[in-house]
Chain A
Amino acid sequence: MSFTFILAHVLTGLGALFLFASGVGVFRMPDVFNKMHAGTKATTLGSILFLSGLGLFEPSWLPKLLLVAVFIVLTNPVSSHALARAAHNDASEKPDNLVIDDLEESKGEEQ
Chain B
Amino acid sequence: MKRAPAVVSTSVILMGIWLSLTLSTDIQEIVLGVVVSVIAAIATNGALTGNLFRLLKPRKFIAAISYIFYFLGQMIKANIDVLFRVFRPVIPLNPGIVKVNLNLKSERAKVIVANSITLTPGTITIDIAGDHIFVHWIFLPDGDVHAETQSMVDGFAGRLEKIFE
Contacts and interface: CB of A to CB of B under 8 A. Distances in A.
Contact of A97 (B93, B127, B129): B93
Interface in A40-98: 40-42, 44-46, 60, 63-64, 66-67, 73-74, 76-78, 80-81, 84-85, 88, 95, 97-98
Interface stretch (B26-34, B55-63, B84-92, B156-164): B84-92
Contacts of A106: 99, 129, 132, 134
A41 B79 contact: yes
Interface string A94-111: 010111111110100000
Contacts of A88: 97, 126-127
Interface in B40-74: none
A81 B76 CA distance: 20
Q: Chain A contact residues (Cβ within 8 angstroms of B): what range?
A: 35 or more
Contacts, number: 130
B17 A67 contact: yes
Given A22-B82, A100-B145, A106-B129, A77 B118 contact: yes
Interface of A: 17-18, 21-22, 24-25, 28-31, 33-34, 36-38, 40-42, 44-46, 60, 63-64, 66-67, 73-74, 76-78, 80-81, 84-85, 88, 95, 97-104, 106
